[in-house]
């Protein structure tokens, strides 16, 4: 990527750490600088906000496999996904990829392709593309392979999942939709069921194995999170392993347990926009109202981040600054990315230009480079270009 824009944005209401203010904003060399003379672009009537940091999103999957079984063009799919990220104001994107017994797009082999694709694309696009590995804890035989994967791909953020249908398996029942799921990933349904039963039967060995795995991953410096905690006890167990990020906890008890311990809580923006979880879990809106949410994530729908901020602000649950921090500074801090999430001299020039009336995005600037620009904002930049 180029060194970025060298210009001075004037006229706009800029979201500084202390709140909205119409002071000029100077960009150069990919960072925000102290104000100084430079080529000006008049953005009167617009807001300039910190770029969005999406801490967990798997919306890219629909670009990698637009139809069932069509998973050949990972590189092109990721490129199109990056364009969608930019159009939604996302300047840092954590792409959440499964490493799971579920196979197909969630299997280890596909994770290899996705991580290789992100590595190849990174640096040639403006959006800062990062990855998260979502590991299924029941895969005991895969623990050594997982650690090798982590080392080879430089994984920095790993979240633990358990999607086995334990209730059905414990009763000896055939999980619903098993045949269709197996055929979709090219497996014999009976073999798929047998593998699930074997993993369920070995769950008694998982806790001790996880203790060791988490210790080794922490030694590597990974950030570790748990997905879908169901109780305060769940959170306490993970906390004991040094797994401190609570991602999409399902109950108020789990959220409150994390919040009381000062642990980061991530909730899904689609949950908030819908007015509740589609699975009947705790309401993200209610958790925001209680002050327990440190970050909102796109989950499966990138546009939900912008919409969620608007709903929080309009509902009087938080100021614009506090609401926007849930999609910028909050997730950036959780990831240890202290060079972004706010607008201040010395930080990355990650910005979103927004029409305050329609809340439509006119431009996204990531690391000082334009990743998306349209409409009136594009016209303003062109008008301000040197002759």
- In terms of Cα–Cα distance, which of 145, 70, 153 is closest to 115? 153
Q: What is the pLDDT of residue 367?
A: 97
Give the residue, 188 or 280, on which the prediction is more confident: 188
Following DSSP, what letter does each residue of 122-191 receive, concatenated? TTSSSSEEEEEEEEETT-GGGHHHHHHHHHHHT--EEEEE----HHHHHTTPPPTTHHHHHHHTT--HHH
Q: Say how many C-beta atoms besides its own lie within 10 A of residue 103's C-beta.
A: 19
Q: How many CA atoms lie within 13 A of 215 on its CB side?
A: 7
Q: What is the pLDDT of residue 4?
A: 83
Residue 322 has pLDDT above 60, yes or no: yes
Q: How many CA atoms lie within 13 A of 161 on its CB side?
A: 18
The conformation of residue 10, written as its DSSP 8-state character, comes to: E
Q: What is the pLDDT of residue 120?
A: 95
Residue 2 has pLDDT above 70, yes or no: no
Q: What is the pLDDT of residue 281?
A: 85
**pLDDT band at residue 198 under the 50/70/90 scheme:** very high
| Domains delineated in the chain | 1-50+341-387 (2.30.40.10), 51-340 (3.20.20.140)
Q: What is the pLDDT of residue 72?
A: 64
Following DSSP, what letter does each residue of 57-109 receive, concatenated? E-TTHHHH-SSTT----HHHHHHHHHHHHHHTTEEEEEEEEEE-TT-GGGSHH
Among 57-71, 241-255, 304-318, 368-382, the range scoring the smallest mean pLDDT is 57-71
The span from the CA of 241 to the CA of 226, in Å, is 11
CA distances from 271 to 21, 26, 152, 360 (A): 31, 37, 34, 21
Give the residue, 122 or 4, on which the prediction is more confident: 122
344-347 CB contacts, 8 Å cutoff, 24+ apart: 344/16, 344/17, 344/32, 345/31, 345/32, 345/33, 345/34, 346/31, 346/32, 346/33, 347/31, 347/32
Q: Give me the phi and psi of 173, to 5 degrees please.
A: -90, 160
Q: Mean pLDDT of all residues in the chain?
A: 94
Q: Say how many C-beta atoms besides its own lie within 10 A of residue 28's C-beta.
A: 17
Q: How many CA atoms lie within 13 A of 28 on its CB side?
A: 12
**Residue whose token pair is 């994530």:** 297
Residue 252 has pLDDT above 70, yes or no: yes
Give the residue, 203 or 67, on which the prediction is more confident: 203
CA dihedral in degrees (50, 302, 330, 125; nearest 10)? -60
Q: What is the pLDDT of residue 7?
A: 93
Q: What is the pLDDT of residue 387?
A: 37
Give the residue, 22 or 65, on which the prediction is more confident: 22
SS3 225: strand
Length of the chain in terms of residues written: 387
Alpha-carbon torsion (29, 35, 40, 43), positive or negative: positive
Residue 338 has pLDDT above 60, yes or no: yes
CA dihedral in degrees (111, 115, 121, 126; nearest 10)? 110
- Average pLDDT of the residues in 164-174: 95
Counting residues of the chain whose pLDDT is more than 70, the rounded percentage is: 96
pLDDT single digits (tens) 7-41? 999 999 999 999 999 999 999 999 999 998 889 99
Contact predicate 117/75, CB 8 Å: yes
Strand partners, 48: 14, 353
SS3 33: strand
Contact predicate 370/5, CB 8 Å: yes
- In terms of Cα–Cα distance, which of 305, 225, 325, 318 is closest to 265? 225
**pLDDT band at residue 223 under the 50/70/90 scheme:** very high
Residue 206 has pLDDT above 50, yes or no: yes
- Average pLDDT of the residues in 112-133: 96
Q: Give me the phi and psi of 41, to 5 degrees please.
A: -125, 120
Residue 331 has pLDDT above 50, yes or no: yes
pLDDT single digits (tens) 297-321? 999 999 999 999 999 999 999 999 9
The span from the CA of 325 to the CA of 161, in Å, is 27
């Amino acid at each position: 990527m180029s060194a970025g824009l060298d210009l001075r944005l004037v006229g706009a209401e800029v979201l500084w750490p202390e709140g909205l203010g119409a002071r000029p904003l100077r960009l150069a060399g990919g960072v925000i600088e102290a104000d100084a003379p430079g080529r000006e672009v008049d953005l009167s009537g617009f807001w300039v906000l910190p770029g969005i940091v999406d801490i967990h999103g798997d919306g890219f999957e629909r670009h990698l496999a637009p139809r069932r079984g069509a998973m050949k063009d990972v590189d092109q799919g990721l490129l199109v996904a990056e364009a969608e990220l930019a159009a939604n104001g996302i300047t840092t994107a954590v792409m959440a990829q499964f490493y799971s017994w579920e196979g197909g797009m969630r299997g280890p082999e596909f994770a290899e392709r996705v991580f290789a694709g992100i590595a190849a694309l990174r640096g040639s696009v403006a959006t800062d593309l990062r990855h998260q590995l979502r590991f299924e804890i029941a895969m005991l035989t895969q623990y050594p392979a997982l650690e090798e994967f982590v080392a080879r791909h430089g994984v920095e953020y790993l979240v633990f999942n358990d999607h086995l249908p334990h209730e059905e398996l414990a009763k000896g029942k055939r999980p619903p939709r098993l045949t269709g799921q197996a055929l979709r990933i090219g497996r014999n349904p009976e073999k798929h069921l047998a593998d699930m039963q074997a993993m369920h039967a070995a769950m008694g060995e998982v806790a001790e194995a996880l203790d060791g795995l988490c210790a080794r991953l922490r030694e590597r410096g990974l950030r570790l999170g748990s997905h879908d905690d169901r109780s305060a006890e769940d959170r306490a167990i993970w906390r004991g392993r040094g797994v401190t990020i609570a991602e999409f906890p399902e109950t108020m008890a789990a959220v409150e347990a994390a919040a009381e311990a000062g642990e980061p809580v991530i909730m899904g923006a689609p949950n908030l926009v819908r007015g509740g979880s589609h699975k009947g879990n705790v309401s993200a809106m209610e958790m925001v109202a209680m002050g327990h949410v440190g970050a909102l994530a796109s989950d499966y729908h990138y546009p939900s981040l912008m919409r969620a901020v608007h709903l929080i602000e309009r509902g009087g649950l938080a100021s614009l600054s506090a609401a926007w921090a849930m999609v910028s500074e909050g997730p950036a801090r959780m990831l240890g990315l202290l060079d972004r999430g706010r607008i201040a001299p010395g930080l990355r020039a990650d910005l979103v230009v927004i029409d305050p009336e329609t809340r439509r995005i006119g431009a996204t600037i990531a690391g000082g480079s334009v990743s998306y620009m349209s409409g009136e904002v594009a016209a303003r930049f062109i008008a301000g270009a040197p002759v």
